[in-house]
Chain A
Amino acid sequence: MSSPTARYPVCKVEDLKSEGRIITTVKGVEVGIFSVGDRYYAWRNMCPHGAAPVCEGVVCGTRLPSLVYEYKYGREQEILRCPWHGWEFDLTTGRHLVDQDVKLRGYPVEVAEGQLYLVM
């Protein structure tokens, strides 16, 4: 039996903005909270590839698909790179940039009066 979902307060929006990301534990699960623009995302802190603490990785942009010998940078602050093997995950979808079948486990985030809640 899975337990019913509930809202868990995780941090203030203001704190997340100033720290860039917050890694916290909710119901025994480590979760990384990220903001991309004015939206918020929560991903389980475990890489589906090698079980690395993926949320500790660098948040960055990346080189976009391009012509041969062209270098186009984009998606600034929208990519999470796993700290072990460098796998790139789209922070907004949780999907690996190369292998769409590989995906981070995510949780809904809600905002109310400057407070972020995780729905688990």
Chain B
Amino acid sequence: MAKPRIIDADVHNAIAQPKDLLPYLPRAWHSYWLSAGPAYGGGWVSPISVLRKDAKTDDGGMPGSDPHYMLKHHFEKYGIDYGILTGSGILGISVNPNPDYANVLASAYNDWLIETWMKASPVYKGSILINHSDPQAAAKEIDRMAKHKDMVQVIMCSASRMLYGQRFFHPIYEAAERNGLPVAFHPGTEGRGISGPPTPSGYPTSYFEWHNILPINYMAHVNSLVCEGVFEKFPKLKVVAIEGGIAWLPHLMWRMDKNYKGLRDQVPWLKRLPSEYILEHIRLTTQPIEEPRNSEHLNQILDMVDAGRTVMFSSDYPHWDFDNPRMALAPIRKDLRSRILADNAMELYGLQDVPDSSPLATESSEGGVRP
């Protein structure tokens, strides 16, 4: 079998129509779902929409809503061997005020994902959606779904009432570790529902301003995960910080290491420098990759975060800030590029061989036709 060349760590599969979820949702919640949707409110309007204008399905459906169209339009076009599906329009259920509703929505979405996407093609790998505001229920959902071999990680929104290192969330990490799955978080609902404001000083004015500053929430969560000893308590746990950027990480690591030398006694359970926990346990995705004027600066940053083991390619298909794997990684040094395009995700998600449906799988020799 050939090894994957490109694994896309952030692909958004959408629910074509709200009614599609009804077969998986308890009857008691049907009217709520049909009238309110995921209902976490607020948000900032993008002047160019969040969805790519060219990604509508053949019959005019919502971008990302048709697994067969997505195969053609995204996977085959760019030679992507696997895509980690991260959902769309439903990730923020954790910040809906009603945890019972969020719990049933998570389960309904996961069952729908298996039936609709996992069965459509082996290139699709699923993320188990959880409601992080009810960690005990989330842990049960992880145990329930982890037996599906195509579910390769746990996912929750990065917006939250509380920082992710805090013990409230530990049942989630315990369940993920027990099942050998990484826990991913994804941005987009910061400042919505019952989450805190997206900056400590309140609400940005525009979508532009909001989007620029999303990484501060990632800094806060990563800092919290390390300081609260999550990686001492769950030494096999990996956390994937999706779509949160990369260039802030050296700053955070250095600041944490420096402060650790003076303030260690507040975190006596840490046995190593904070940066060592980060590089061992945190994984980042590329999109939206930072685009400095001097591309060598990006390579330097990638070296600072040991990108050869920590960074995975992602496209964010079909969202407006999509990164084309052939263009977006061009400034990156060759030795790092293959690690980022496939190897790091192969190792994290255990995707050693290309799937059966891939053209590479049936080729007689390694290498082949695709760029």
A: residues with CB less than 8 A from B are 49, 62-72, 82, 85-88, 96-99
Interface contact B265-A62, CB-CB below 8 Å: yes
Task: Give CA–CA (A64, B269) in the complex, Å.
Answer: 8
Alpha-carbon distance between A14 and B271 when the two chains are bound, in angstroms: 39
Contact mask B260-273 → A, CB, 8 Å, 1/0?
A: 11111110110101
A64 to B273, CA, bound (A): 16
Q: Which of B248-301 contact A (CB under 8 A)?
A: 260-266, 268-269, 271, 273
Complex CA gap A87/B261 in Å reads 6
Tell me the complex Cα distance, A67–B271, Å. Answer: 10
CB distance from A54 to the nearest CB of B (A): 12
Known A-B contacts A68-B228, A68-B229; A97 and B264 likewise in contact (beta carbons under 8 Å): yes
* Interface size, chain B (Cβ < 8 Å): 17
Q: Say how far B281's CB is from chain A's closest CB, in angstroms.
A: 14
Pick 27 A–B contacts, CB within 8 A, sort by A. Answer: A49-B261, A62-B265, A63-B265, A63-B266, A63-B268, A65-B268, A65-B269, A65-B271, A66-B268, A67-B232, A67-B269, A68-B229, A68-B230, A68-B233, A69-B229, A69-B269, A70-B268, A72-B268, A85-B261, A86-B263, A88-B262, A88-B264, A88-B265, A96-B261, A98-B260, A98-B261, A98-B273
Count chain A CB atoms within 10 A of each CB in B167, B233, B262, B273 and give the residue with the most. Answer: B262
Question: Whole-angstrom distance from the CB of B163 to the nearest CB of chain A?
Answer: 15
Other-chain contact of B269, A66, A88, A97 (Cβ < 8 Å):
A66
Q: List 4 additional A-B contacts (Cβ < 8 Å) besides A67-B269, A71-B268.
A: A67-B232, A68-B232, A68-B233, A98-B264
Q: Which of B167, B260, B265 has the most CB of A within 10 A?
A: B265
User: How distant is the Cα of A93 from the Cα of B273 in the complex, in angstroms?
Assistant: 21
Shortest distance from the beta carbon of B274 to any chain A beta carbon, whole Å: 11
Separation in Å of the B257 CB from the closest CB of chain A? Answer: 9
CB-based contact A85/B262 at 8 Å: yes
- Chain A residues with Cβ below 8 Å from B265 are 62-63, 88
Tell me the minimal C-beta distance from A109 to chain B in angstroms: 27
What's the least CB distance linking A33 to chain B, in Å? 24
Minimum CB–CB distance from A84 to chain B (whole Å) comes to 9
Query: CB-CB < 8 A to A88: which residues of B?
Result: 262, 264-265
What A residues does B233 contact at CB under 8 A? 68
Give, as a whole number of angstroms, the nearest-CB distance from B173 to chain A: 11
User: In the docked arrangement, what's the CA distance between A99 and B272, Å?
Assistant: 10
Cα separation A65 to B265 with both chains bound (whole Å): 9
Query: In the complex the two chains form, what is the Cα distance from A82 to B230 in whole Å?
Result: 29
**Complex: chain B residue closest to A96, CB-CB:** B261
* B contact residues around A87 at 8 Å (CB): 261-262
Residues of B within 8 A of A62 (CB): 265
Cβ-closest chain A residue relative to B167: A69
Would you give the shortest CB distance from A25 to chain B, in whole angstroms? 27
For A68, the chain B residues whose CB sits under 8 A away are: 228-230, 232-233, 269
Question: From A61, which residue of chain B is reached at the shortest CB distance?
Answer: B265
Closest B residue to A72 by beta carbon equals: B268
Shortest Cβ distance from B265 into A: residue: A63
Chain B residues positioned under 8 Å from A71 (CB to CB): 268
With CB as the reference atom, state the residue of chain B lying closest to A60: B265
Contacting residues, chain B, for A72 (C-beta < 8 A): 268
Q: How far is the CA of A82 from the CA of B264 in the complex (A)?
A: 13
Instruction: Encode contact with A along B158-169: 1 for CB under 8 Å, 0 otherwise.
Output: 000000000100
Cα distance A70–B268 in the bound complex, in angstroms: 8
What distance in Å separates the Cβ of B232 from its nearest Cβ neighbour in chain A? Answer: 5
Nearest residue, chain A, Cβ from B271:
A65
Q: How far is the CA of A5 from the CA of B277 in the complex (A)?
A: 46
A67: chain B residues within 8 A (beta carbon) = 232, 269
Task: Please indicate the chain A residues that have their CB under 8 angstroms from the CB of B229 in the complex.
Answer: 68-69
Distance of B258 from chain A, by nearest CB (Å): 9
Q: Which residues of A contact B232 (CB under 8 A)?
A: 67-68
CA–CA, A72 and B189, complex, Å? 40
**Contact between chains at B262 and A86 (CB < 8 Å):** yes
Q: Contact mask B84-115 → A, CB, 8 Å, 1/0?
A: 00000000000000000000000000000000
Max chain A Cβ within 10 angstroms of own Cβ: one of B228, B263, B268? B268
Set of chain B residues within 8 Å of A63, measured between Cβ atoms: 265-266, 268
- In the A-B complex, the 10 residue pairs with the closest CB atoms: A68-B229, A86-B262, A63-B268, A63-B265, A68-B269, A85-B262, A68-B233, A66-B268, A62-B265, A98-B261
Cα A12 to Cα B268 in complex, Å, equals: 37
Q: How far is the CA of A96 from the CA of B232 in the complex (A)?
A: 22
